[in-house]
Amino acid sequence: MENEHSSKRQQNRLRRKEAKCKAQLSKQLDFSPAECTTKMLCVSNAGLGNGLTREHVYTWLSGYGTVAGIVMEPKKPYCYVITGDVTDATTLLKLSGGRVQHEGIPQPVEHFIFCVSNVPELPPPRSELPSGLHLLNDYISPEVEEQLLGLVDWGGECLPGSTTGSSSGGSMKHRSVKHYGYEFKYSTNNVDPNDPLANQIPDECKQLTDRLIKDGYLTDPPDQLTVNKYEPGQGIPPHVDTHSAFIGPIVSLSLGSQVIMTFSNSLGDTRQVLLPRRSVLVMAGESRYSWSHSIVPRKTDVVESAEGLTLSYRQTRVSFTFRRLRRARCQCDYPAQCDSQNYGETRECSGDSKIAGLTAEAALRLEELHVHKVYDSIASHFSGTRHSQWPKVAEFLSSLPSGSLLADIGCGNGKYLRNTPNLLHFKIGFERSRDLSEICQSMGYPIVQADCLATPLLDECMDACLCIAVIHHLSTQERRKAAIAELLRIVRPGGRCLIYVWAMEQRKAAISSSYLKPQSTGNTGVNPPEYLSTVDGDCQLPVHRNRTEFASADMLVPWNLKSKPDNKSEVESENKVSESNINHQQAPANHANVEPANSTLFHRYYHIFKEGELEALCTNVEKCRILESYYDQGNWCVILTKDH
């Protein structure tokens, strides 16, 4: 009898939770409950906003009935499932209230399932390829595939002249890679044309490249080959192959397994392109120079078939990517993505050396002089221009379960440390600036003065981390990578981190970020940036012209601190660029970069991130997995999780 009462209590508790979940979805989301059973279902906690994918949902539900379609909307914590018929829907409804352990998700997820009368109308899938992209199916025979796969011994010996993917001899974090002809250096995203490898492209590849020339897809034989091996679950972040390094077209041959490659442009247009086994992908024109391409790291792909959706399990895939080095500046029609046509590509320091080659001591001196001392000097004024929480950061915070432990690394004046109504998080801030830390303390926020590279926290003690507009103040790639590793050190497995950094791309197509002054054209060859000696005179960095486009990847950004402003609002308007538009690059709008009367001019160091650079940095950090990357008002942003 006691067991019977316990079972009834559990059933009643489950029904109450189900009713509450249904009511919340009906009220808050685009959700239309149905009065009777339909073949259209809504599944709670199964959306992109919860970190689940179509692969998760399909793998789970297709074992119980026919899944004809899955509709997932960005940021939503639910999805729609279209079943084969009402009988399938009835079967799937019986799974409501159950907990499911999804692959890659640390904790079981509780799902409730409801019938709906309709689903959102989403645009039909874009079947056409990006302009300039050609997909050649079955371009080689199985015999040629076997021969090419046998060229590289991934276990040790390989063809003479090949190298691993880094100059130190190590392999890439999420894939194995070898180069022939010339080494592509991932630290600089470029090649050295004066440093060829011992052997050129293997002769066995000549039959393929000759045919591509004969068929009109190539005009000249390639002189550089990169061979990547992807195991199931591995991928590559979004990127555009460096313009200054290679001419177009670029050719990629898929061997061993099919995969879905994602193409995206600055207008937000995305195309999912299935690359079949033994197919050749030719990227020319717009698809080569303007569209980024990536492979999402996962073990399965949901693909369209004659019967509807089906799950494709990835196998070991090897890609042969053929390129030809560029021997002159790129003069393409896509200057926004072109490093040759953007000023500051060489970033001179100490004659011929690069800022990326700064010694550890020089990097510390640069950051002490042009980051730490500056923020201590402008702390009060800076804090006065930082009030509102940026919407997408607030959205990230609201997605965390109540009671989560959150660390805000580089918290500034602590605007994200205050709790919002009906959502309690336990937060603690870490700030390198003494004066900003004191401002946080005066507001009653829990604050510790600490560097982002060395937070005094135990391993895996936090549920989530924020790091907003901090990492771009670190002056070397090694230090930026170490900062991301430090974030992942303190979060638990499955925990999430949100990172924002300034973006080189302040214009996305015809749309400018709110940072840019209207009709601003930025620096051009006619009006090059001024340079300022820093780090004891060892290095010269360009000085940014505020509210214009960035001219270099490493710059000094001015801040005018007026000692006795006659009008407070005038000062704020000069140093605060429309916080309502969530621009994170607040800087004084003094285009001449000269010190006005009654003011002190400071210069803050910034590394400006190009598209794909932040994702590439993250993928080389141990246990780091990218859940989402996006562009937000002149910033590149990623949400990371820590794998087990």
Q: What digits encode the pLDDT tens for the residues 278-333? A: 999 999 999 999 999 999 888 888 777 655 566 688 999 999 999 999 988 888 88
* Dist. CA 104–CA 644, nearest whole Å: 9
Between 338-352, 408-422, 550-564, 597-611, the lowest mean confidence (pLDDT) is in 338-352
pTM of the full predicted structure? 0.50
Q: How far apart are CA 238 and CA 243, in angstroms?
A: 15
Q: What are the Cα distances from residue 383, in Å, to 114, 406, 430, 633? A: 47, 21, 15, 21
The pLDDT of residue 125: 56
Q: How many alpha carbons fall within 13 Å on the CB side of residue 2?
A: 0
Distance between terminal CA atoms of the chain?
43
Which of helix, strand or coil describes residue 239? strand
Cα gap 474→563, rounded to integer Å: 28
pLDDT of residue 325: 95
What number of other Cβ atoms are within 10 A of residue 487's Cβ? 28
pLDDT band at 529 (very low <50, low <70, confident <90, very high): low
Cα 18–chain centre separation = 35
Asked whether the beta carbons of 226 and 185 are under 8 A apart, the reply is: no
Element (H, E) at 276: none
How far apart are the C-alpha atoms of 630 and 398, rounded to whole Å? 18
DSSP 327-396: -S----S-GGG-SSSSTTSS-EETTTEEGGG--HHHHHHHHIIIIIHHHHHHHHHHHTT--SPPHHHHHH
Q: What percent of the chain has pLDDT over 70?
A: 76
Q: Is the pLDDT of residue 491 over 80?
A: yes
Distance CA 408, CA 406 (A): 7
| Winning range, highest mean pLDDT, from 4-13, 105-114, 253-262, 558-567 | 253-262
1 vs 196, more confident: 196
pLDDT of the residue at 182: 94
Strands annotated E in 469-583: 491-502, 507-508, 511-512, 530-534, 539-543, 554-562
Look at strands 317-323 and 348-349 and give their pairing. Answer: unpaired
As given in the structure block, the two tokens for residue 66 are 């026919």
Cα–Cα distance between 515 and 209 in angstroms, integer? 46
What is the reported pLDDT for 19? 75
Is the per-residue pLDDT at 164 higher than 70? no
* Residue 611 contacts residue 636 (beta carbons within 8 Å): yes
Residue 145 pLDDT: 96
Residue with the bigger pLDDT between 597 and 65: it is 65
Q: Give the mean model confidence (pLDDT) for residues 183-194.
A: 81
> Any residues with CB less than 8 A from the CB of 436 and at least 6 apart, and which?
375, 376, 379, 382, 383, 411, 412, 413
pLDDT given for residue 370 in this prediction: 94
The pLDDT-based confidence of 64 (bands split at 50, 70, 90) is very high
Tell me what pLDDT residue 31 has: 54
Least confident piece of the model among 71-85, 144-158, 332-346, 588-602:
588-602
- The pLDDT of residue 548: 83
Helix, strand, coil in percent for the chain, rounding step 5: 25, 30, 45
* Residue 591 vs residue 421, higher pLDDT: 421
Residue 346 has pLDDT above 50, yes or no: no
Q: Span 243-263, mean pLDDT? A: 94
Q: What is the mean pLDDT of residues 255-273?
A: 88
Arithmetic mean of pLDDT over the chain: 80
User: What's the confidence (pLDDT) of residue 537?
Assistant: 52
41 phi-psi bin (left φ>0, alpha ψ -120 to 50, beta other): beta
Residue 538: what pLDDT?
A: 53
Look at residue 481 and tell me whether its pLDDT is greater than 90. yes
Mean pLDDT of 94-100: 90
Using pLDDT thresholds of 50, 70 and 90, give the confidence band for residue 587.
very low
Q: Could you read off the pLDDT of 369-384 as tens digits, one per residue?
A: 999 999 999 998 888 8
Residues 300 and 304: their CA atoms lie apart, in Å, by 13
pLDDT at residue number 468: 97
Average pLDDT over every residue of 410-423: 84
8 A C-beta contact, residue 626 and residue 615: yes
How far is CA 366 from its chain centroid?
27
Residue 81 β-bridge partners: 41, 70
Q: What is the DSSP letter of 17?
A: H
Among the residue ranges 3-7, 20-24, 282-286, the one predicted with the least confidence is 3-7
Q: Give residue 28's pLDDT band: very low, low, confident or very high (50, 70, 90).
A: low
Distance between CA 517 and CA 634 in Å, rounded?
13
State the pLDDT confidence band at 5, using cuts at 50, 70 and 90: low
Selection from 185-194, 432-441, 568-577 with the highest mean pLDDT: 432-441
* pLDDT band for position 550 (cuts 50, 70, 90): confident
Q: What is the pLDDT of residue 340?
A: 75
